[in-house]
Chain A
């Protein structure tokens, strides 16, 4: 063929064909169809097209070399391992009705068909030979390790009777629900509200409160939603490519941006997987991150490489000048001068001295950030914000950079999380609880970002209260929290905790101390509904018991998830509904009505009706999409597992106010707009901060900017709060603007010979207690040596594999050294997720992936010594038998609590002494003095500035700040 005759250039035949095909594809995908159906090499992916999910054929790999075809139903659900909630497709064998494997759900808008190793390893979890299959009751004393199987009836009646009695006697605050991995957005909060119990307790203050607080003081929202995929510069103070908040969905977008040419800056003391991919890896001295960020900010300000118009319009600079610089006129020009003066001392030389990174290097990075313009996507999660005293200021200093550049809610910039989240309004909404639980929100921490969960043993020790019924729910505080021996003391004492109910899929160090163990399902064995901010869009994901759905499609509807789960494993939604009915069987406590059917009043609400209602009434666009596919909204979600409500949400703060809100509205002198109009219910019930009304009781609805009435931010001022009046009024005026606080592990505060220990990092294949019984994952990573720099190792006479003793003020542990240049000199690090153990003599489960230990106690002195490692799991449970015995060392036991006096975050970093192990030391030895641990708690408690009757409004806490379960307004009063 002579090809020279054909046209290929602009206007030629090929461009025309290209645009025709593109249009066709858009049209086709708008109908929800796959443009290239069929098992295919196309798109560089091989997802089964959704049209074939009902009968997907694959060859049985185990039958090789025979070509044995297996028919599957592909049923979507959602990973339950980390907070990312990636979509999964369960391959349910048509013949055996069992799940053969899990792969990614290509229709999930967040994860787009991809998973990390933990997603497919869900198969290990559901097939775990050690899992708990029946309700169990303690047969001997607590922690003795003897159990008897009981019926669900008995378990439910025992718990319900106890709660009913507590509620009837007004002891509502003695009921506590303590959550690890959250399930459905808002479900248990509503359940507790229905019980009129302020008993929600989360793990957040040992996880992300430091990061969240910095965001919340700035913008009202407590998390960012960076638009990584479209960013020019990505700035991370976290390990997003391996364990970030939202690990896989964020990591894949960061990778995309990198492929496009975006630059990645990572601040991490350790050479993490993420740091290894960075264009700029800065390994600062721990806790000095804010000094670096402020030096960069000072550079941007001094050189006026900032978006002045954005700052003028959206920062509360006038409030700052009025409150802090009465010497200056309230003009934007004088604010810029003030800003200059405020940060002038944060030079690159200063930051270099604090961080140990050269001033030239910092300047280079500052230039890269300056060049990002509106496309700077920044995130901090756990890491430095969770490690240091004042870590929340690192987060606040991080937000300062996109706020200076105007990269807030811009394409490629940093969005507030809630704008990219959709929590559909549920079928019932019980009112706020009327009491305040000071065990979770004590007066000392009025600004605590979340519940002061990790201080519970100390509060009970001090006699601040007792707990009648304590639910640990997919949570293992003995192992996960700092100071685990204090938790063991608390959970062993029936005077402090009357009944401990562990809702868990797997055995854990905490479950061993429970009175009742109730088996709960994994990702493919339960219902949940959720939405996470993973890009500039809103979507919902559905977790479902896949075998229940498989049966339904086969024409055998199931109404109780227990009947398809292994043993008598249940799901929580059905459990809580049933329990609530038993607490209030005749409805006299006013609880039952929140768990009743709307279709059949007086009957129990089923999960099918619950979700059918939500999908029909509260998810815009879903009923239409379902109808177009010839399905009911519930069946649509059962079939596809997720739904995208919208994308490209954009800068909502600029959105004009609704005319209804403007009717009768007044504009306060600071520009805040207050409206007499009642709040109109929105289908999106995502929790929002609640800035207070004006003196006349009108609602804060927006803010006036350049004469325009805009939605603004949910902060008291309606703007981005560079200056936080809340911090100033609640006792911390010196911290009211982004600043630098010297960490508790700052060199000035270390004793001779001490080094900071970084204990906060995850390995990508592990996720707390939940992954410990996933053999595939343990095979990849199962131990946690101490990272130590060669120079330190040489000084201490250590080599890789040497036994090393690490001492904190409350005790010590013995582990192995790993000599590496991946950590800065003078600092050591150790991963959490490791060191799982079971006491010798415990009969629950065989737990072949845990070490067997001997635990002893003499007064406040606790010891743990390893009797045997892992390694008894037979084949047939996911490949070859366990070949390793080392499972690492449980480091969190030797950490005293370090509550940040403002955010309430546990400041994880530790000042430790490191030396070669003593002659008698054995690997895995741990010793702790809980009396000393309590003294350290008291030392940190003394740093607080408590709420008093003289606090603003006489409140325990600013009402506008978020709380997962918000009590009624009256309950906020200190009296």
Chain B
């Protein structure tokens, strides 16, 4: 299926150099600077980034993706959980399904890939990406989003039980660790872009330097209550937005549950800590944010 390869090519590791391909998709390719800002700093397109408890790229989630290639006896690409690799694999399976007697096997594999490795994060990723991506690249988001919808509609089963469930944010951890956990969607339920944190920092009159963890840690340290307030509002909006992804069924419910859990946690934090009388809560917050 060429569409998936073409979509993958436009976010692949190297800058695309075939303009007619982008034109056919109605997309204006990203400049090198935009690619870096989006795919290196803001929203790296890796499954492990959004599905792992640490929110870091690599690790077990990457191994799971590698395993999919391995069982099919296919060469394992250097970054198997990169969206481009997964889309290319999807194209290969779709091609296999289109010919031959093993259609059923390919269909089954395709659905497994879609439900286990793509739908758990890609539609949410696209919903986030579309807010920060330059206008010329929005058709790419729309086309992939359409395609994901199409895959979901074609499926005869869905396997949401494979979605990972991790402990919520540990508010007793260090400030840095709390910031990291808030930035892990799998723990906090929040999908926070760097751009959003920059905007928050600016609105609080704070310097907007560094990566997402240092930006968020800076915000929690310098302006804890407005930050927690803003994040809880974001969690609420996100939870509402997830209703539009109801076609994802249990996946959407899972993320909505996470967002609601995250929002509740944030609100508790705004009110003065996870538990105990108000004074102690304020002390907790002071201690946490003074580190």
Interfacial residues, chain A to chain B (CB-CB below 8 A): 1-4, 6-9, 13-14, 17-18, 20-22, 24-25, 28, 35-46, 232, 259-262
Q: Which residue of B lies closest to A38 (CB)?
A: B14
Q: Which residues of B contact A2 (CB under 8 A)?
A: 244
Is B247 an interface residue, CB under 8 A from the partner? Answer: yes
Q: Is the CB of B14 within 8 A of A40?
A: yes
Task: Report the Cα distance A46→B146, complex, angstroms.
Answer: 28
Q: Which residue of B lies closest to A19 (CB)?
A: B2
Q: Is the CB of B3 within 8 A of A44?
A: no
User: Using a CB-CB cutoff of 8 Å, which residues 86-124 of chain B contact chain A?
Assistant: 88-89, 92, 96, 99-102, 105, 123
Q: Which residues of B contact A25 (CB under 8 A)?
A: 2
Query: CB within 8 A of B5: which of A3, A28, A36, A46?
Result: A36
Q: Which residue of B lies closest to A37 (CB)?
A: B17
Q: Which residues of A contact B126 (CB under 8 A)?
A: 1
7 CB-based A-B contacts, threshold 8 Å:
A1-B127, A8-B149, A18-B1, A36-B9, A41-B12, A44-B69, A261-B101
Q: Is the CB of B150 within 8 A of A41?
A: no
Q: Is the CB of B21 within 8 A of A41?
A: no
Rounded to whole Å, the gap between the CB of A67 and the closest CB of chain B is 15
Is B58 an interface residue, CB under 8 A from the partner? Answer: no
Q: Of B137-145, B170-178, B183-191, B218-226, which stretch is located at the interface?
A: B137-145
Task: Report the Cα distance A36→B88, complex, angstroms.
Answer: 12
Known interface pairs A14-B3, A38-B14; A21-B100 also in contact (CB < 8 Å): no
Q: How many A-B residue pairs have CB under 8 A?
A: 120
Further 8 A-B residue pairs, CB within 8 A, beyond A21-B2, A40-B13: A1-B244, A14-B150, A17-B143, A18-B1, A21-B25, A28-B18, A36-B5, A38-B16
User: Per-residue CB proximity of B230-254 to A under 8 Å, as 1/0?
Assistant: 0000000000000011010000000
Q: Is the CB of A41 within 8 A of B146?
A: no
Q: Which residues of B contact A35 (CB under 8 A)?
A: 18, 21
Query: CB within 8 A of B146: which of A6, A21, A38, A262?
Result: A6
Q: Which residue of B lies closest to A3 (CB)?
A: B149
Q: Is the CB of A260 within 8 A of B100?
A: yes
User: Using a CB-CB cutoff of 8 Å, which residues 138-196 of chain B contact chain A?
Assistant: 141-143, 145-150, 153
Query: CB within 8 A of B78: which of A14, A41, A42, A262?
Result: A41
The 7 closest A-B pairs by CB, nearest first: A261-B101, A260-B100, A8-B150, A38-B14, A261-B102, A21-B2, A41-B77
Task: Report the Cα distance A6→B244, complex, angstroms.
Answer: 13
Q: Which residues of A contact B105 (CB under 8 A)?
A: 261
Q: Is the CB of A18 within 8 A of B88?
A: no
Task: Report the Cα distance A18→B4, complex, angstroms.
Answer: 9
Known interface pairs A3-B149, A41-B77, A44-B75; A24-B12 also in contact (CB < 8 Å): no
Rounded to whole Å, the gap between the CB of B15 and the closest CB of chain A is 8
Q: Which residues of B contact A44 (CB under 8 A)?
A: 69, 74-75, 77, 88-89, 92
Task: Report the Cα distance A531→B131, complex, angstroms.
Answer: 56
Q: Which residue of B lies closest to A9 (CB)?
A: B150
Query: CB within 8 A of B17: which of A6, A18, A38?
Result: A38
Q: Which residues of A contact B71 (CB under 8 A)?
A: none
Is B258 an interface residue, CB under 8 A from the partner? Answer: no
Q: Is the CB of B123 within 8 A of A42?
A: no
Task: Report the Cα distance A40→B79, complex, angstroms.
Answer: 11
Q: Which residues of B contact A4 (CB under 8 A)?
A: 149, 247
Query: CB within 8 A of B102: which of A1, A18, A36, A259?
Result: A259
Q: Is the CB of B244 within 8 A of A37?
A: no
Q: Which residues of A contact B130 (CB under 8 A)?
A: 1
Q: Is the CB of B75 within 8 A of A45?
A: yes
Rounded to whole Å, the gap between the CB of A270 and the closest CB of chain B is 23
Q: Which residues of A contact B82 (CB under 8 A)?
A: 41
Q: Is the CB of B146 within 8 A of A8?
A: yes
The number of chain B residues touching the other chain, given as a range, is: 35 or more
Is B52 an interface residue, CB under 8 A from the partner? Answer: no
Task: Report the Cα distance A402→B3, complex, angstroms.
Answer: 39
Query: CB within 8 A of A8: which of B8, B16, B147?
Result: B147
Known interface pairs A24-B24, A39-B14; A14-B9 also in contact (CB < 8 Å): no
Query: CB within 8 A of A6: which of B16, B99, B149?
Result: B149
Q: Which residues of A contact B201 (CB under 8 A)?
A: none
Task: Report the Cα distance A17→B17, complex, angstroms.
Answer: 19
- Taking each of A37, A41, A262, which has the highest tally of chain B beta carbons within 10 Å of its own beta carbon? A41
Q: Which residues of B contact A20 (CB under 8 A)?
A: 24
Q: Is the CB of B88 within 8 A of A22?
A: no
Q: Is the CB of B149 within 8 A of A40?
A: no
Q: Which residue of A lies closest to B24 (CB)?
A: A20
Q: Is the CB of B88 within 8 A of A42?
A: yes
Q: Is the CB of B102 within 8 A of A260?
A: yes
Known interface pairs A3-B123, A14-B143; A42-B2 also in contact (CB < 8 Å): no
Q: Is the CB of B99 within 8 A of A260?
A: yes
Rounded to whole Å, the gap between the CB of A551 and the closest CB of chain B is 30
Q: Is the CB of B102 within 8 A of A8?
A: no
Is B60 an interface residue, CB under 8 A from the partner? Answer: no
Is B259 an interface residue, CB under 8 A from the partner? Answer: no
Rounded to whole Å, the gap between the CB of A885 and the closest CB of chain B is 35
Is B198 an interface residue, CB under 8 A from the partner? Answer: no
Q: Is the CB of B146 within 8 A of A14?
A: yes
Q: Which residues of A contact B142 (CB under 8 A)?
A: 1, 6
Known interface pairs A44-B74, A44-B77; A24-B101 also in contact (CB < 8 Å): no
Q: Is the CB of A21 within 8 A of B145?
A: no
Query: CB within 8 A of A3: which of B85, B100, B146?
Result: B146
Task: Report the Cα distance A945→B87, complex, angstroms.
Answer: 66
Q: Which residues of B contact A7 (CB under 8 A)?
A: 146
Q: Is the CB of A21 within 8 A of B18?
A: no
Q: Which residue of B lies closest to A24 (CB)?
A: B24
Known interface pairs A25-B2, A41-B82, A260-B102; A1-B145 also in contact (CB < 8 Å): yes
Query: CB within 8 A of A41: which of B2, B84, B143?
Result: B84
Q: Which residues of A contact B21 (CB under 8 A)?
A: 21, 24, 35
Query: CB within 8 A of B12: which of A17, A22, A40, A261?
Result: A40
Is B40 an interface residue, CB under 8 A from the partner? Answer: no
Task: Report the Cα distance A20→B6, complex, angstroms.
Answer: 11
Is B291 an interface residue, CB under 8 A from the partner? Answer: no
Rounded to whole Å, the gap between the CB of B28 and the closest CB of chain A is 16
Is B33 an interface residue, CB under 8 A from the partner? Answer: no
Q: Which residue of B lies closest to A35 (CB)?
A: B18
Rounded to whole Å, the gap between the CB of B5 and the closest CB of chain A is 6
Rounded to whole Å, the gap between the CB of B207 and the closest CB of chain A is 32
Q: Which residues of B contact A24 (CB under 8 A)?
A: 20-21, 24
Q: Which residues of B contact A38 (CB under 8 A)?
A: 12-17
Q: Which residues of A contact B79 (CB under 8 A)?
A: 41
Task: Report the Cα distance A393→B88, complex, angstroms.
Answer: 48
Rounded to whole Å, the gap between the CB of B104 and the closest CB of chain A is 9
Q: Is the CB of B25 within 8 A of A17?
A: yes
Q: Which residue of A lies closest to B82 (CB)?
A: A41
Rounded to whole Å, the gap between the CB of B49 and the closest CB of chain A is 16
Q: Which residues of A contact B141 (CB under 8 A)?
A: 1
Rounded to whole Å, the gap between the CB of A621 and the closest CB of chain B is 25
Q: Which residue of A lies closest to B20 (CB)?
A: A24
Q: Which residue of A lies closest to B105 (CB)?
A: A261
User: Per-residue CB proximity of B33-72 to A under 8 Å, as 1/0?
Assistant: 0000000000000000000000000000000000001000
Q: Which residues of A contact B85 (CB under 8 A)?
A: 41
Task: Report the Cα distance A13→B143, complex, angstroms.
Answer: 9
Q: Which residue of A lies closest to B6 (CB)?
A: A21
Rounded to whole Å, the gap between the CB of A117 and the closest CB of chain B is 15
Task: Report the Cα distance A17→B25, complex, angstroms.
Answer: 7
Task: Report the Cα distance A4→B82, complex, angstroms.
Answer: 26
Known interface pairs A24-B21, A36-B18; A42-B9 also in contact (CB < 8 Å): yes
Q: Which residues of A contact B74 (CB under 8 A)?
A: 44
Task: Report the Cα distance A816→B150, complex, angstroms.
Answer: 61
Q: Which residues of B contact A9 (CB under 8 A)?
A: 150
Task: Report the Cα distance A25→B126, complex, angstroms.
Answer: 26
Q: Which residue of B lies closest to A15 (CB)?
A: B3
Q: Which residues of A contact B3 (CB under 8 A)?
A: 14, 17-18, 21
Known interface pairs A21-B24, A35-B18; A42-B84 also in contact (CB < 8 Å): yes
Q: Which residues of B contact A13 (CB under 8 A)?
A: 143, 146
